[in-house]
Amino acid sequence: MRFYNRQHTHYCGIDVHVNTMYVCILDGAGQVLVHRNVASTPTVFLDVVAPYRTELVVAAECMFTWYWLADVCAAEGIQLVLGHALAMKAIHGGKAKNDKIDSHKIAVLLRGGLLPQAYVYPAAMRSTRDLIRRRLHLVRKRGQLLAHIQNTRAQYNPPAFGRTLAYKANREGVVAHFSDPSVQKSIEVDVTLIDQYDALVTDLELTSVREAKRHDADAFHRLRSVPGIGKVLALTILYEIHNITRFDRVQEFASYARLIKCRKESAGKKLGNGKALSILTHKIGRAVYYMLSRGTVFSMEKFLAA
């Protein structure tokens, strides 16, 4: 976990919500200069911080409302630090909690160099990343419908389907497997929705690939040179990483991707390990890091030699 520890003249902590935000500005000595609730708009934000723009740093928690704030700060040349929501225990663990307290705690953590950082994903590729995440949401919904069909078959115990229902051609005649009209209608709804999800997912994939080729075609094609990494996985890796140069070392990238074991110790006693993926996955992750950082394609010879 990285903590922001640069020194500034003014420190601004904001608890951002949809319609309002609580703003707290501290000076270098920790004195409160501003502490009030205002509307969540770019104009109001800039008016509040205007007298304190000298060496100003702004921090907010990494919730769904931070996009517009990051874009305003980037346009105005204001340093923004995004707090890692899961790591900000000083906020979530307090006896009393409200917007006023939270904004002050964010400012204090920022000033004290104890604000755990999340990555401020730039606007240029952010919307496409969200589109890929939206695809995952639709795929999961589609999977729930397929599971419902299988569960219904288990309830009424008709003959097995014989072929996987993930493919449209194999779903023909599925409704007729059941004799009860109400059950048939339920399965018909499932099949209709699955067909719609298929069309939506395909369209999202085509759009995402088109955007990937516009943003970083070289990196996208290099990722696909790895055996087992197809179109969707390449899109996911590309847009979740954004820019490999934000990791100074391969070890940092492996930690970010949860490819290492995390030891947990206290008073010399081992309490356990954090979960990690397989050794093979770790090796592939390292290969991806060096491919993207060096601008090369996957080499099976080098991979096996390592």
Q: Residue 201 has what pLDDT?
A: 97
Do the strands 10-16 and 115-118 form a parallel or antiparallel pair, or are they unpaired? unpaired
Tens digits of per-residue pLDDT, 77-133? 999 999 998 888 777 777 788 999 999 999 999 999 999 999 999 999 999 999 999
pLDDT at 194 over 70: yes
Q: Write down the pLDDT at residue 272.
A: 62
When comparing pLDDT for 17 and 93, which is higher?
Answer: 17
User: Can you say whether residue 137 is alpha, beta or left, with left for phi > 0 and alpha for psi between -120 and 50 degrees?
Assistant: alpha
Span 170-178, average pLDDT: 92
- Closest by CA position to 146, among listed 194, 189, 195, 178: 194
Give me the torsion for CA of 12, 16, 19, 25, rounded to 10°.
-10
Confidence of residue 10 (pLDDT cuts 50, 70, 90): very high
Residues in the chain: 306
Question: Is the confidence at residue 178, as pLDDT, over 80?
Answer: yes
Q: What angle do CA 268, 273, 274 make, to 5 degrees?
A: 135
Question: Taking CA 217 as the corner, what is the angle to CA 216 and CA 221, rounded to the nearest 5 degrees?
Answer: 125
Encoding tokens for residue 224? 């696909």
CB 288 within 8 A of CB 226: yes
The pLDDT value recorded for residue 202 is: 96
Per-domain boundaries in the chain:
3-120, 124-216, 243-305
Segment 58-62 mean pLDDT: 95
Q: What's the CA gap between 88 and 36, in Å, rounded?
A: 22
CB atoms within 10 A of CB 220: 20
Mean pLDDT of the region 225-249:
93
Global pTM reads 0.83
Band the pLDDT of 271: cuts 50, 70, 90. low
Residue 274 above 70 pLDDT? no
Q: What is the CATH number of domain 3-120?
A: 3.30.420.10
* Mutual angle of helices 67-76 and 42-49, in 10-degree steps: 50
The mean pLDDT value for 152-171 works out to 92
| Tokens linked to 153 | 């078959």
Three-class secondary structure of residue 77 per DSSP: coil
Token digits of residue 226: 């790895």
Output the CA torsion sign for 206, 207, 209, 210: positive
Q: Among 218, 121, 240, which Cα is nearest to 232's?
A: 240
pLDDT digits (tens, 9 = 90+) for 275-300: 655 777 888 888 999 999 999 999 88
